[in-house]
Amino acid sequence: MTTEKTASVKPAKTSIAATRRIAFCGVFGAIAAVLMLFEIPLPFAPAFYKLDLSELPVLIGSFCFGPVAGAVIELVKILLKMLIKGSSTAGVGELANFIVGCSLVVPAGFLYSKMKTRNGAILGMAAGTVIMTILGCFINAFVLLPFYANAFEMPIDALIGMGTAVNASITDLFSFVMLAVAPFNLLKGIVVSVLTFLLYKRISRLVKSAED
């Protein structure tokens, strides 16, 4: 009889834990969507590249619950942002943001899930930052910039000219990507990683206490 009761309690606890994790993913996604609204212009990039800290709660969530949860939180963030502000790119910019965001949080969350130590966290965030920087360059060069040029009916040279206005060394698409896009993603990855490193333990303790 006792064994039957124990067996019935375990699925119930598992179900409650799963429900709480889903709720936390929603909370982290909502916080990320709000943070996405606060953008900081950067002196080395054109005005349409602005830094936000929306990946911070996504990365913390990925560390807490794993890489799949990180991707789910990233998706919630994008969907909520579209509900709040809509999309000026027919969803293309949001899709690119989702892919680039996942390229940071998923590798970081995966590596940390395999090595739950300080070094594991640092390695994961470093790998995620590098992957995001590289992938961000390709997506901007071959998807976003051509799309924006077509959408706004202007040549890509006009977009590159916006980069030249802030950095005279930007003269073509390659230099635009190397001197504006790459530093932008690298800086974003470093800032988010440092803040995650400082905040994760405190937030993870709150999450664990809520799950108990």
DSSP-assigned letters across all residues of 113-134: HH--SHHHHHHHHHHHHHHHHH
Task: Give the whole-angstrom CA distance, residue 54 versus residue 74.
Answer: 9
Report which secondary-structure segment, H or E, holds 40: strand 40-41
3-state secondary structure 93-115: HHHHHHHHHHHHHHHHHHHHHHC
Q: Are 144 and 96 in contact (CB under 8 A)?
A: yes
> pLDDT per residue over 45-90, tens digit each?
998 899 999 999 999 999 999 999 999 999 999 999 999 888 877 7
pLDDT value at 194 more than 70: yes
pLDDT value at 7 more than 90: no
pTM: 0.90
More confident residue, 13 or 41: 41
Least confident of 14-18, 28-32, 150-154, 160-164: 14-18
Task: Give the whole-angstrom CA distance, residue 1 versus residue 160.
Answer: 73
Least confident of 83-97, 98-112, 162-176, 177-191: 83-97
- Beta carbons within 10 angstroms of residue 65's beta carbon: 20
Identify the pLDDT of residue 81: 92
Topology given in CATH for the domain delimited by 2-211: Arp2/3 complex 21 kDa subunit ARPC3 (1.10.1760)
- Supply 82's token pair: 């579209």
Q: Are 203 and 58 in contact (CB under 8 A)?
A: no
- Beta carbons within 10 angstroms of residue 92's beta carbon: 15
Identify the pLDDT of residue 211: 66
Task: Give the whole-angstrom CA distance, residue 1 versus residue 88.
Answer: 61
Task: Give the whole-angstrom CA distance, residue 150 versus residue 25.
Answer: 36
Identify the pLDDT of residue 10: 56
Which residue shows structure tokens 């966290």?
Answer: 121
Which residue shows structure tokens 């006009």?
Answer: 158
pLDDT value at 134 more than 60: yes
Nearest CA-CA partner of 187 in 35, 32, 59, 43: 43
Identify the pLDDT of residue 210: 72
Average pLDDT, the chain: 91
Residue 166 confidence class, pLDDT cut points 50, 70, 90: very high
Residue 1 confidence class, pLDDT cut points 50, 70, 90: very low
Amino acid sitting at position 56: L
Q: Is the dihedral of CA 156, 158, 159, 164 positive or negative?
A: positive
Report which secondary-structure segment, H or E, holds 204: helix 182-211
Q: Which of 9-13, 16-20, 143-147 has maximum average pLDDT?
A: 143-147
Least confident of 137-151, 163-177, 181-195: 137-151
Task: Give the whole-angstrom CA distance, residue 58 versus residue 128.
Answer: 13
